Amino acid sequence: MTGEVSSPVSSESSDLHSSLSSIITGVESPPTSMSSSQDDDITPFPSPAMGALKLSDEALAELSIEDGLDEDKIVSEEDAAQAQKLKLEANTAFSQQHYSEAMELFTQAIRLNPRESVFFGNRAMARMKMEEYGGAVADTTKAIELDPKNVKAYYRRALSRLAILQPMLAVPDFRHVLKLDPANKLAREQLEAAVKLIRRIEFEKAIAVGDSESTSAKILRMITSDSVPMDNSYTGPMPEYDSATKRYTPTKEFVEGMIQLFKDGGKLPKRICWEIVLGCKEMLDRENSLVEVEIGKGVKCDIVGDTHGVSPKRRFAMTRTINAVSTCALQQFFDLCNLLNMLTPPSETHAILFNGDFVDRGSWSVEVALTLFAYKWLYPSRIFLNRGNHETSDMNKVYGFEGECKAKHGELTYKLFADVFTALPMATLLTASQSPSNLKSEGSKPAILSSEGKKRYFVVHGGLFSKDGVTLDDVKNIERYGKQPGQEGLMCELLWTDPQDAPGRGPSKRGVGVGFGPDVTRRWCEANSVTAVIRSHEVRAEGYAIEHDGLCITTFSCPNYCDSTGNKAAYVRMQDDGQLSYHQFDAVPHPPIKPMAYSGGFAGM
Ligand SMILES: [Mn+2]
């Protein structure tokens, strides 16, 4: 025994994990009572999961009002016929996975005939594919208003609410589906799973009270008191052991050997995992919630966006067979390895900033997280890690990391990760050490410079704030330890917001508090002497996008994120004078590999 004091996991809670994951990742089967003449559904709906926290009723109301929509329009027969034609075209686009095209066509159909419930219900489905769960809730709400018997609309609204972690609101919708369609087995199962999830969240809240010692402190105490023996059967790569301190230190050989071990389907002993996570934490403890880094002369820094990401199609396969799990989910880790190879390893002249969302959405999140944490442990002043909205307990509970981590290394290891996720900084300010060779910005106006005349970039996973006036010091002073981002406030906004094209602020399409417009970004950059905001969190077709007149740059590093888009991935490279360049890449094939042997735990991930 390794001294782990895991609480017994009841079969109910593991069932719950698998059934809930299957809700989030699963196939939507149409309610049984749908007649085929009313059929508007095209393909099964794999609901990818990434979400939001809260959408107020006012925000919802605002979302449902759209430009150019005249709800009192007199619909001529000709309009109605044309709208039907557009709907068919939209359905075809949807079935070919051209979701934004489908959405546009449904929108055109809605403008011609704003009183057809099915058009809103179908547009909601396209929105869900694009992770616009907030918009999907608004559309299904409208569909229900137009046709209170639209079973699919209730069903989709429930799934959207689950995807944005609102099981409480999903329950009445599932109940409604069952009222209209009592034989719907899937809706019944999902209702039960949602109810169980709510109970489990309440239970965990209740037992969390009074837990004064953090898991990292507890594990450190166990290690230093010799109660965590090494697994003697393990013969793989090891960090260096110091018998005086009874602790390990990382070496380059160890980290590289570990990556090869993972590629070969091997597994680290728990003790070594713990050393990596604790080692990383010790490095993070030296950093503020806003990490300030000067890019020294001759140094370049690569900014890498979301690294998690397994396509929904691959996720389908996961629920079918173990073999499919390993070959499909492995993509995630191979994409990371490919990326690391491309970037060239960190060195005295090369820094890398990983901008959050390391975990979830795959079965190799543990390996991805251990790799990045080991690098941080090894090269604390060359590797930087920002927290993403997936480095949070509520997301990990629903989107796979908690289950995966417990299956591979036990409950306590998961708790350690969850604890150390709260040590991750919220943002990083990268400042050029050299004066700019080029005074241009990425947009039309001259670059905004620091008071010393240098270019500098605010790198954060989500984006800017729901109000003006937030300073860099406000970010730096965030007390992050032990904290989850919650549903509002700076932490939540840094991890969750998205830019929008329209000026000002608006409800986010994904269902989070806000979208921030180009004027918001300009005011903030000027007030804080920041050259641009570099953020991730959203897929972009080219892997990166320069928006808000060059002041808001998105970089997303999961190639082919949802088979839907076939997007490229990219990272941004910053030179010592603040010059940026953009580097795109595609998904790589990976070799076939023997599945890792687990005693269950994968079926539902
Ligand atoms: Mn994200």
What gap in Å lies between CA 139 and CA 136, rounded to an integer? 5
What gap in Å lies between CA 121 and CA 140, rounded to an integer? 5
Please report which helix (H) or strand (E) contains residue 432, including its range. Answer: strand 427-432
Tens of pLDDT along 351-374? 999 999 988 876 788 999 999 999
Determine the distance separating the centroid of ligand 1 and the alpha carbon of 425, expressed in angstroms: 15
Most confident of 20-24, 162-166, 297-301, 303-307: 297-301
What gap in Å lies between CA 156 and CA 137, rounded to an integer? 8
Question: Within the chain, which residue ranges are assigned CATH 1.25.40.10?
Answer: 57-208
Determine the distance separating the centroid of ligand 1 and the alpha carbon of 143, expressed in angstroms: 29
pTM of the entire structure?
A: 0.79
Give percent of the chain with pLDDT exceeding 90.
56
Give me the residues near ligand 1 (ion), CB cutoff below 5 Å: 357, 388-389, 537
CATH 3.60.21.10 matches 281-435+453-460+538-585? yes
What gap in Å lies between CA 540 and CA 584, rounded to an integer? 11
Q: pLDDT band at residue 58, thresholds of 50, 70 and 90?
A: low
Determine the distance separating the centroid of ligand 1 and the alpha carbon of 461, expressed in angstroms: 7
Determine the distance separating the centroid of ligand 1 and the alpha carbon of 34, expressed in angstroms: 35
State the chain's mean pLDDT as an integer: 81
Full 3-state SS string of 129-144 = HCCCHHHHHHHHHHHH
Count of positions (residues) in the chain: 605
Question: Within the chain, which residue ranges are assigned CATH 3.60.21.10?
Answer: 281-435+453-460+538-585
Q: Give SS3 for 423.
A: coil
Q: Give SS3 for 582.
A: strand
Q: Give SS3 for 427.
A: strand
144: Cα within 13 Å, side-chain hemisphere: 20
350 is catalytic: no
Query: Superfamily assignment of 57-208 in CATH?
Result: Tetratricopeptide repeat domain (1.25.40.10)
CA angle, 589 then 365 then 591, to 5°: 20
Determine the distance separating the centroid of ligand 1 and the alpha carbon of 462, expressed in angstroms: 7
Structure tokens given for 542: 């080219």
Tens of pLDDT along 295-354? 999 999 999 998 864 333 333 333 222 223 333 445 667 778 888 888 877 888 999 999
Name the catalytic one among 17, 176, 308, 390: 390
pLDDT of residue 327: 37
Determine the distance separating the centroid of ligand 1 and the alpha carbon of 24, expressed in angstroms: 16
| CA 24 to the chain's CA centroid | 14
Q: Give SS3 for 5.
A: coil
Q: pLDDT band at residue 24, thresholds of 50, 70 and 90?
A: very low
Structure tokens given for 16: 């719950």
Which amino acid does the sequence have at 562? Answer: C
More reliable by pLDDT, 53 or 292: 292
| CA 172 to the chain's CA centroid | 27
| CA 344 to the chain's CA centroid | 25
Within 10 A of 435 (CB to CB), how many other CB atoms are there?
13
